[in-house]
């Protein structure tokens, strides 16, 4: 799944694809703008290098009827936990900075 992070909000795309997880953000937006958009969306927060996503909120937006089965979602979280990418109720995701033209 992909979290598309813009100036005002974060949107979950490809909710059924539990084989990958990333946050995609426009490189023209600064850290403060991206952090505010992620926080407003209810999906999570940013630290200096990663997005920390609420597992409960991701589940609500990704599990059937939105795309993924509960088993697929749980397997994704278990895989992430095994790699050390889960802390408490949050799942760590890398941030891909791209040129989307948002200004």
**Within a domain: residue 103?**
no
61 is a domain residue: yes
Q: What is the mean pLDDT of the chain?
A: 91
Number of structural domains (the chain) is: 1
Q: Is residue 71 one of the residues assigned to a domain?
A: yes
- pLDDT tens figures, 8-49: 888 999 888 999 999 999 889 999 999 999 999 999 999 988
Cα distances (angstroms) measured from residue 23 to each of 14, 28, 71, 94: 12, 15, 22, 6
Range of the domain at 37: 2-98
User: Is this prediction's pTM over 0.85?
Assistant: yes
Evaluate whether residue 9 is within a structural domain: yes
């Amino acid at each position: 799944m992909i979290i598309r992070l813009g100036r005002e909000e974060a949107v979950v795309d490809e909710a059924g694809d539990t084989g990958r997880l990333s946050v995609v953000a426009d490189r023209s937006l600064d850290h403060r703008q991206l952090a505010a958009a992620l926080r407003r969306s209810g999906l999570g927060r940013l630290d200096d290098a990663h997005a920390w996503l609420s597992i409960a909120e991701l589940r609500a937006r990704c599990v059937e009827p939105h795309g993924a089965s509960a088993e697929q979602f749980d397997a994704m979280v278990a895989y992430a936990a095994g790699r050390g990418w889960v802390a408490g109720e949050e799942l760590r995701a890398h941030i891909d900075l791209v040129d989307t033209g948002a200004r």
